Amino acid sequence: MTTKHTPLVILGSGPAGYTAAIYAARSLIVPVLISGMQPGGQLTQTGDIENFPGFPEKISGIELMDQMRQQAENLGTIIVDETAVAVDLSKKPFSVTLDSEDVYTCDALIIATGASAKWLGLANEDNLRGFGVSACATCDGFFYRNKKVAVIGGGNTAVEEALYLANLASEVFLIHRRDELRSEKVMQERLKAHPKIKTIWNTVVEDYIGEKSNGGLTGLRLKNIKTNEASELAVDGCFVAIGYAPNTELFRGQLELNAEGFIVTDKTNLHTSVEGVFAAGDVQEMFYRQAITAAAGGCRAALEAEKYLSALK
């Protein structure tokens, strides 16, 4: 176990974390970035990205994040591929304990820990996760070649997952609780036009059918919420795509969080309730949850951290 001091620690390696690192490094701060459990963050689990400016031919999420990491490193960021397991924001310098038990103390902290997929919360969900139930089509879709799958949700993630899975599976059912999707119109058009995808409207999943010890998921028990009609749908896989919850457990009781658990920040300068602690990206953003807005937040947080650190001198 070692303890090191550094002016700035950045937690998280999505677009917010890497962009914060790029800006901080260019201010000659030499930031330490703790990449977390999933280096590259949520974008490493998406397919092609069409809406990040500068890549007219699209770019894969993994490649985009690799390039951001490379850029941050080239400019002098120290990247530590570990996970923060505890933080102490009650006194200065702040301290961050890693899973190796090494500790970084720092004068300023940028939190860019992002968000994680939400689950339906059904009784046997935990049991069947990895046995037919998943929240990541790009990770697990391969196992469902020529099989039937369902995707739950009506946002961009659900539609993207359905389109991705349609390249592999024999049939894809998109199950949505309303009669209107909230995803981008262009994605809705692609969904409608796809011959392998069927959308089941006004419907919720009441239960997963299947046993982990006996081949895993075999189907879903559904209910139409307009007619109350119950039905069963035979599927081999179910992908839950109902949004994301912020990764803020480490900060509970130390920073102001809103009712949904997002870090409360000043929307202009991304200051949190503790002076010297800044937050950027999905961990504090409830509405514009995009790679580009996260990157922009990382930039703002780094500029603010730099200003804060200069004032301390």
Binding site for ligand NAP (CB under 6 A): 51, 120, 152-158, 160, 177-178, 182, 204, 241-244, 289-290
DSSP letters along 197-228, please? Answer: EEEE-SEEEEEEEEEGGGTEEEEEEEEETTT-
- Which residue intervals of 36-82 are DSSP H helices? 61-74
120 vs 264 by CB, closer to ligand NAP? 120
State the DSSP H helix or E strand holding residue 200, giving kind and residue range, or none if neither: strand 197-200
Which one of 140, 238, 282, 299 is the catalytic residue?
A: 140
User: Considering Cα of 181, then 184, then 189, then 194, what sign does the dihedral take?
Assistant: negative
140 tagged catalytic: yes
Position with the least CB separation from ligand NAP: 155
Query: Minimum CB separation from ligand NAP for residue 85, in Å?
Result: 27
> d(Cα 150, Cα 132) in Å, to the nearest integer?
10
36 vs 246 by CB, closer to ligand NAP? 246
98 vs 151 by CB, closer to ligand NAP? 151
HSE (CB half, 13 Å, CA atoms) of 291? Answer: 25
206 vs 211 by CB, closer to ligand NAP? 206
Please report, as a single letter, which amino acid is at residue 305. Answer: A
> d(Cα 228, Cα 206) in Å, to the nearest integer?
11
Residue whose C-alpha is closest to residue 271's, from 302, 240, 296 = 302
Query: Minimum CB separation from ligand NAP for residue 14, in Å?
Result: 12
Read off the tokens for 113.
């820990």
Query: Minimum CB separation from ligand NAP for residue 131, in Å?
Result: 21
Which one of 126, 139, 179, 266 is the catalytic residue?
A: 139
Read off the tokens for 310.
């200069």
Query: Minimum CB separation from ligand NAP for residue 183, in Å?
Result: 7
> d(Cα 19, Cα 307) in Å, to the nearest integer?
16
299 tagged catalytic: no
97 vs 157 by CB, closer to ligand NAP? 157
Q: Pick left, alpha or beta for residue 212 (phi over 0 → left; psi -120 to 50 → alpha; otherwise beta).
A: alpha
Which one of 66, 88, 102, 136 is the catalytic residue?
A: 136
Residue whose C-alpha is closest to residue 12's, from 48, 44, 38, 47 = 38
Query: Minimum CB separation from ligand NAP for residue 34, in Å?
Result: 24
118 vs 196 by CB, closer to ligand NAP? 118
Please report, as a single letter, which amino acid is at residue 42. Answer: Q
Query: Minimum CB separation from ligand NAP for residue 184, in Å?
Result: 7
> d(Cα 192, Cα 195) in Å, to the nearest integer?
8
List the catalytic residues: 136, 139-140
